[in-house]
């Protein structure tokens, strides 16, 4: 019997999220799993970029250098949480035709909506701090461009994104995927050269009590903040709507949710691998080293210093490191700018030309970095400290985005009986939110005790 067509639970009265690319990618009319997976593949790559951006580099490599393989368990758990949250984010966008920012604005009162917007905007700025710093330092390492000029150059990424949007969203996905493969290839090669002890690597995936000590906890939360970033939930809920499926046919909606989940999980598995490689590299080459490896330049220099990296030290490793850093920064600026636009439009309903919107969100994000670069010049240590604390802030801000996401996707009124979260998904979502919130409170208390 032919499936009866049914309307979605929510009939949207808002402008489509990322209107210029919403519903623009055609889907084949076929039951072939592989052809459908190929058609739906792409948004997951853009989401995965946020889980391997420059913010991950300092926290993951630094975590390996300082604590060995101890924090691999944190990378693993962070990736599982990321998969859970991105499944819910994609489902929210596909089923309700709203991104997380639009849904939050629709289903909360005005004061609460404004408060959540401010926190989310700060989280987007914190994300962009990592992306801008990473790109600027990579330009400095490869071409000698001063950090201040490198930061200013990243503003022009906005216009590159505008050009790519004109070429079609599929082109953006292809470019992002290519850059991801560059990053993955570089770190596979570098870890192979580092020759880690495989038994110790696998042992790192078993959680240990030492993680709850202040130094380890700070680094662990930095990894969580760098891995599971709030802006990615807004991004994932929006770009999941780029596929051209019937918004009124529940079978097509269910198919879109299914393949968006496959795409997201496959791409996030690749991001998990990259993050593991970063931490393994830090542990294999630098664990036990007494010097300061807390900056990108220090890591760049260490990779070619036999006294630190041992016999594998090579200028080639350093150059590849800088190339991968630039690829990561450029990838992340594309997705970060899109996320900034989604947040601003969804919460504030601002109607501006697309280039103005993107330039405005970009300027908001780079301002703190430019101020630090002007105040401290090419003092990279200061910028890297700013980067680390921005990642910790992201972990603190994450529950603010997780709470509405879990609530919305668990609501039968919003999602409908068929698409609301199953009880196990709801419980896992709330447990993740509560645990992260408790750990963040513990981190704040511990930090205050150290200061005072």
In sequence order, the β-bridge partners of residue 243 are 25
Q: Is the dihedral of CA 249, 253, 254, 256 positive or negative?
A: positive
pLDDT in tens, 209-264: 777 776 777 777 777 766 677 888 999 999 999 998 888 889 999 999 999 999 99
Q: Positive or negative, the Cα torsion across 285, 289, 291, 295? A: positive
pLDDT at position 12 is 52
Q: What pLDDT, on the 0 to 100 scale, is given for residue 237?
A: 93
pLDDT of residue 373: 65
Q: What is the H or E stretch that residue 199 is in?
A: helix 198-203
User: For residue 433, how far is the Cα from the chain centroid?
Assistant: 17
Comparing CA positions, the residue from 106, 147, 105, 88 lying closest to residue 10 is: 106
**pLDDT at 197 (0 to 100):** 86
**Per-residue confidence (pLDDT) for residue 8, from 0 to 100:** 45
Q: Note whether 337 and 163 are within 8 A (CB).
A: no
CB 213 within 8 A of CB 304: no
pLDDT tens, 83-102? 999 999 999 999 999 999 99
Identify the residue whose tokens are 């939110």. 433
Q: Give the right CATH number for 39-392 from 1.10.760.10, 1.10.10.60, 1.20.1730.10, 3.40.1390.30.
A: 1.20.1730.10
Q: Say what the pLDDT of residue 263 is.
A: 94
The burial class, CB within 10 Å (0-12 / 13-18 / 19+), for 189 is: middle
Distance in angstroms (rounded) separating the CA atoms of residues 134 and 447: 26
C-alpha span between 357 and 359 (Å, rounded): 6
pLDDT tens string 399-416: 888 899 999 999 999 999
Q: How far is CA 325 from the centre of its chain?
A: 15
Distance CA 128, CA 274 (A): 20
- Sort 282 into a burial class: Cβ within 10 Å, 0-12 / 13-18 / 19+: buried
Q: Quick check: 403 and 98 in contact, CB under 8 A?
A: no
Q: Where are the domains of the chain?
A: 39-392
Task: State which H helix or E strand residue 282 sits in.
Answer: helix 250-286
pTM, to two decimals: 0.85
Low-confidence ranges of the chain (pLDDT < 70): 1-14, 55, 158, 161-162, 214, 225-227, 290-294, 351, 354, 357-358, 361, 365, 372-373, 375-392, 395, 443-444, 446-452
HSE of 325 in the Cβ direction (CA atoms, 13 Å)?
Answer: 28
């Amino acid at each position: 019997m032919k499936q009866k067509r049914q309307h979605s639970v929510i009939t949207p009265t808002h402008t489509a999220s990322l209107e210029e690319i919403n519903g623009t990618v055609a889907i084949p009319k076929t039951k072939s799993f592989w052809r459908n997976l190929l058609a739906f593949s792409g948004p997951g790559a853009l989401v995965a970029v946020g889980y391997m951006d420059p913010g991950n580099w300092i926290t993951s490599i630094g975590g390996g250098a300082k604590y060995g393989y101890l924090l691999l368990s944190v990378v693993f758990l962070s990736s599982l949480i990321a998969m859970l949250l991105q499944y819910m984010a994609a489902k929210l966008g596909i089923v309700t035709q709203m991104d997380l920012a639009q849904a939050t604005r629709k289903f909360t009162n005005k004061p609460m909506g404004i408060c959540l917007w401010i926190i989310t905007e700060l989280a987007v700025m914190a994300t962009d701090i990592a992306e801008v710093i990473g790109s600027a330092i990579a330009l400095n390492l490869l071409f000698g461009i001063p950090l201040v000029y490198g930061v200013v150059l990243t503003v022009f990424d906005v216009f590159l994104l505008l050009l790519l949007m004109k070429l079609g969203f599929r082109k953006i996905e292809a470019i992002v995927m290519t850059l991801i493969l560059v990053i993955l290839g570089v770190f596979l090669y570098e870890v192979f050269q580092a020759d880690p002890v495989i038994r110790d690597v696998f042992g790192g995936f078993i959680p240990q009590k030492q993680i709850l000590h202040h130094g380890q906890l700070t680094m662990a939360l930095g990894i969580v903040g760098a891995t599971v970033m709030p802006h990615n939930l807004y991004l994932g809920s929006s770009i999941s709507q780029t596929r051209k499926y019937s918004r009124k046919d529940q079978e097509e909606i269910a198919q879109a949710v299914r393949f968006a989940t496959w795409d997201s999980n496959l791409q996030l598995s690749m991001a998990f691998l990259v993050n593991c490689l970063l931490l393994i590299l830090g542990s294999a080459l630098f664990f036990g080293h007494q010097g300061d490896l807390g900056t990108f330049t220090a890591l760049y220099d260490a990779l070619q210093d036999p006294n630190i990296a041992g016999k594998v030290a090579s200028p080639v490793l350093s150059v590849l490191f800088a190339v991968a850093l630039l690829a990561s920064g450029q990838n992340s600026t594309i997705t970060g700018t899109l996320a900034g636009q989604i947040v601003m439009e969804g919460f504030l309903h601002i109607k501006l030309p697309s280039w103005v919107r993107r330039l405005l969100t970009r300027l908001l994000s780079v301002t703190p970095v430019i101020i630090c670069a002007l105040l401290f010049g090419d003092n990279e240590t200061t910028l890297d400290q700013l980067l680390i604390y921005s990642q910790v802030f992201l972990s603190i801000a994450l529950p603010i985005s997780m709470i509405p996401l879990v609530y919305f996707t668990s609501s039968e009124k919003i999602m409908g009986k068929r698409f609301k979260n199953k009880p196990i998904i709801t419980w896992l979502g709330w447990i993740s939110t509560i645990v992260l919130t408790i750990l963040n409170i513990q981190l704040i208390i511990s930090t205050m005790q150290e200061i005072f």
